[in-house]
Amino acid sequence: LKPGSDFGMAIAQALKITKKDYHELVKKFWFKRKLTAKEFAQVLLDETRSNEVSIDYLTDQILSPVGRHSLYPEVRRNLERLYKINKLVLISDTSSLGQQMFYDLQISKFFQRVYFSCEVGLTKEEGLYQVAFKDLRVKPQEVVVVGDSLEEDYYLPLRLKSQAILIDRNNKYPSQKSIKSLDELK
């Protein structure tokens, strides 16, 4: 996302929960179901038993990233390059909103298949990778996972016996071997 307000923090503060607890609710509910922003706002209100914040405020905060999504400068060029020599698959823990933003970026043509947690009903931690591997009829050791989450895109695939490459554009994990850009992929 392009720089903007920290909507996750705003939602957490309005609900009087920690940002970590908010992210746990996202993973538990929004990443595993096809919910609209308003439906997820209602889940947040129900789960936190909050009556001090309106559903409209939460819905507006949830929708605030819309229009702020964009690709890093080198992504399209590298997807075009990599698509010609590899089978690319997208496996993503995301909501229906994240799914729509992906399609808005018009890059789906580069992927042989896409697996969204909100469609499958499982996050990466719960077996989304395994569902994709089985569906694609590939062994984990035949797969290279490239992503920016240290746990879900690096350590988890390694535990599954896949190869993994961490993208760390902002040096968030300085002691971890990583790449800074898709330009570094062969």
Per-residue pLDDT of the chain (186 residues; tens, 9 = 90+): 777 889 999 999 999 999 999 999 999 999 999 999 999 999 999 999 999 999 999 999 999 999 999 999 999 999 999 999 999 999 999 999 999 999 999 999 999 999 999 999 999 999 999 999 999 999 999 999 999 999 999 999 999 999 999 999 999 999 999 999 999 998
Tokens describing residue 156 = 């988890």
Tokens describing residue 74 = 């080198």
- Position 100 scores a pLDDT of 96
CB count within 10 Å of CB 14 equals 18
- Position 4 scores a pLDDT of 82
Long-range contact pairs involving 88-91 (C-beta distance under 8 Å, separation at least 24): 88/112, 89/113, 89/114, 89/115, 89/132, 89/136, 90/114, 90/115, 91/115, 91/124, 91/128, 91/129, 91/132, 91/145
145-171 as b/e: b if 16+ CB within 10 A: bbbeebebbbebbeebebebbbbbeee
